[in-house]
């Protein structure tokens, strides 16, 4: 599924960027060598970051 239609960023690419250390949507764009266009994807990226970060915390316990 596409998270960012403007840049063609798929959910898998967002998860890979988060696993590599992305903590903000702008980090996800940097990891994918692009920048935000319309910005509609930013809230969804933020939600994915928060969800995956929470999963990492639980796994570390």
Count of beta carbons in the 10 Å neighbourhood of residue 43 = 10
Q: Scan for tokens 């988060």, then name that residue.
A: 18
Average pLDDT of adjacent 10-residue blocks, the chain of 61 residues: 97 97 97 97 97 84 77
| pLDDT of the residue at 14 | 98
- DSSP-derived secondary structure for 21-61: T--SHHHHHHHTT---SS-TTHHHHHHHHHHHHHHHHHHH-
User: Can you give the CATH number for the domain in which 6 is found?
Assistant: 1.10.10.1100
| pLDDT of the residue at 56 | 76
| pLDDT of the residue at 57 | 78
Number of domains observed in the structure of the chain: 1
| pLDDT of the residue at 10 | 98
Q: Are 7 and 34 in contact (CB under 8 A)?
A: yes
Give the structural domain span for 48: 2-60
Q: What is the pTM of this model?
A: 0.89
**3 state DSSP class of 2:** strand
């Amino acid at each position: 599924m596409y998270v960012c239609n403007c840049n063609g960023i798929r959910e898998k690419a967002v998860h890979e960027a988060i696993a590599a250390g992305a903590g903000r949507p702008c980090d996800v764009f940097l990891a994918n060598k692009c920048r935000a266009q319309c910005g509609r994807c930013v809230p969804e990226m933020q939600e994915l970051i928060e969800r995956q970060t929470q999963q990492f915390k639980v796994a570390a316990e």
